[in-house]
Chain A
């Protein structure tokens, strides 16, 4: 706690970024719940500009944009965080094994990472959605998880985004593991006769947590961008659900020189930009504070 206060004192910009993130998260999760239910519905008031009643205006179907932007933020934030967590588990495990095993196993595992870097992600995600959507729905129905049935597309989106975003983390974790495994406490653990999984789990993993958590703050915006990119192309979140990407796509589609409906673009773009900037600022600041060398050069 004391170190957190010291960190924010040294980096006031990071403190502001954290505050912005907290406000956006609270608004996204509490806002849709506090606003009147009629805001989620369609109404005859199509394309109304911002007013007191509709601070962000309304869209083509007369839905309140304030409500849409907040609930879209909910989906973007959930997908971003959950996808980043999936990638964190995969990347850490992969990098840890490659780095600790070393030698030929390490070599093969990292070559696989090199190749995966050049696989077109868009195809991978679309294939996943197409191939597993129906299967997941069936599975959820038989198991009685009703909430999955409605959002199976998003669940698969999260899983597949996590499955493609772990590559860089795996490289970082591997590098750290390579440095850690020659330290005296690991040699001592080996000499005590502890097994390899125990050494990896109990001795090396705790030393990696700092790096992994810092990288998490940089992975979340990456996943949010991926998700919005897909939704922007109309391939991700499907209507009536919305995310910032699909709202932006709607806004860009409604652009025309005669009637400038700026509120359809400015508000989703502004919320998303604030979130991404804040996350990147926080991630950069955290990285600098643990890496004195990076601090000197930047």
Chain B
């Protein structure tokens, strides 16, 4: 267990290092300087700025000093939002992104489980066909189609939910549902497959023979076994939901980290971009690790040797 954990940790650090390096190179290869603005800076000022942020050395020197800073836990300063460090910006914007992501995660898993179980229990009936058609639509349609359509229907025509704003529970519903829909569909498909397999097993027949009610058989006996593939998908799912809200944040004007991600690319704000990428990547790796441990707790037959 510990050996497995350590090996995974080493490979995670290696992946992080690769991603940091590639991001660093990409942002430096791009032409233009972070200090290009509508108003051209005097050359002397620009030179001073370059020196201050350590951008005047060779590529190798810059890379070394950046990595050194990262190792000591310093994400650097933003080049565009002067006098703010990357850590400050992230700590101000990440909570909104995280809240949105966690609500979406709950919606995605519960919605996916209910649809998946319903489809599997009614295999070869119209319920199954409808559920799978909805799932196909959910998977094929990107959030920037679903989001505006939901706003139009529930926000503007029916006027059930607020369209923008941030801070109330009602304002959270539309963005969270928009973010969750593709993953509801994915979880539903995944669960339907494993549920159909599970429902054919002997212990399900036994449970039914005991005269248990159908929903007890489905949700208490069969789901417990059938949920395993969904659990192993929880890691990437959580990471995608917590980091993948760029479009949703744009549509619904949410003050999260996604907007800063896009802006930092446009502004060539290398340190801010690096910070966002590192945090996102670290989340991805961490969730995968947690889920692997959770997996073995749910099913004792799985041993962590890989």
Contact = CB atoms under 8 A, between A and B. Distances in A.
A277 B247 contact: no
Given A123-B27, A127-B27, A130-B31, A277 B148 contact: no
A188 interface: no
Prevailing SS type, chain A contact patch: helix
Given A118-B15, A277-B136, A297-B196, A245 B144 contact: yes
Contacts, number: 112
Contacts of A269: 145, 148-149
A229 B141 contact: no
Contacts of B22: 115, 119
Interface residues of B, number: 44
A296 to B, nearest CB: 10
Nearest to B196: A297
Contacts of B142: 225, 228-229, 276
Given A269-B145, A273-B141, A276-B141, A119 B262 contact: no
Given A232-B247, A277-B137, A130 B32 contact: yes
Interface in A118-177: 118-120, 122-124, 126-127, 130-131, 134
> Residue among B136, B142, B273 with the most chain A CB within 10 A?
B142
A257 B160 CA distance: 12
B152 interface: yes
A260 interface: yes
Interface in B113-137: 136-137
Contacts of B18: 115, 118
A281 B262 CA distance: 32
Contacts of A276: 140-142
A90 B107 CA distance: 38
Contact of A272 (B145, B156, B261): B145
A277 B140 contact: yes
Contacts of B174: none
A4 interface: no
B230 interface: no
Nearest to B276: A120
Interface stretch (A51-59, A190-198, A248-256): A248-256
Nearest to A120: B277
Contacts of A249: 144
B290 interface: no
A221 interface: yes
B136 A284 contact: yes
A28 interface: no
Interface string B14-36: 01001100110011011110000
B103 interface: no
Contacts of A134: 31
B238 to A, nearest CB: 16
Contacts of A281: 136
A122 B139 contact: no
B246 to A, nearest CB: 8
A118 B140 CA distance: 22
A211 B261 CA distance: 36
Interface residues of A, number: 42
B251 A252 contact: yes
Given A248-B145, A248-B148, A255 B156 contact: yes
A108 interface: no
Interface in A274-292: 276-277, 279-281, 284
A265 B19 contact: no
B165 to A, nearest CB: 12
B139 A131 contact: no
B265 A298 contact: no
Contacts of A280: 136, 139-140
Contact of A252 (B30, B148, B262): B148
Contact of B144 (A131, A248, A279): A248
Interface string B255-274: 00000011001100000010
A123 B152 contact: no
B15 A265 contact: no
A277 B137 CA distance: 6
Given A127-B30, A260-B157, A280-B139, A122 B265 contact: yes
B61 to A, nearest CB: 21
Contacts of B277: 120, 123
Interface in B59-106: none
B193 interface: yes
Contacts of A114: 15
A262 interface: yes
Interface in A89-136: 114-115, 118-120, 122-124, 126-127, 130-131, 134
29 contacts: A115-B22, A118-B18, A118-B281, A118-B284, A119-B22, A120-B23, A120-B277, A122-B246, A122-B262, A130-B30, A130-B32, A131-B30, A134-B31, A225-B142, A232-B250, A233-B262, A235-B266, A245-B144, A248-B144, A252-B144, A255-B163, A265-B148, A266-B152, A276-B141, A277-B140, A280-B140, A281-B136, A297-B193, A297-B197
Interface of B: 15, 18-19, 22-23, 26-27, 29-32, 136-137, 139-142, 144-145, 147-149, 151-152, 155-157, 163, 193, 196-197, 246-247, 250-251, 261-262, 265-266, 273, 277, 280-281, 284
Given A119-B23, A252-B151, 12 more contacts: A118-B281, A131-B31, A228-B142, A232-B250, A251-B148, A273-B145, A276-B140, A280-B136, A280-B140, A281-B136, A297-B193, A297-B196
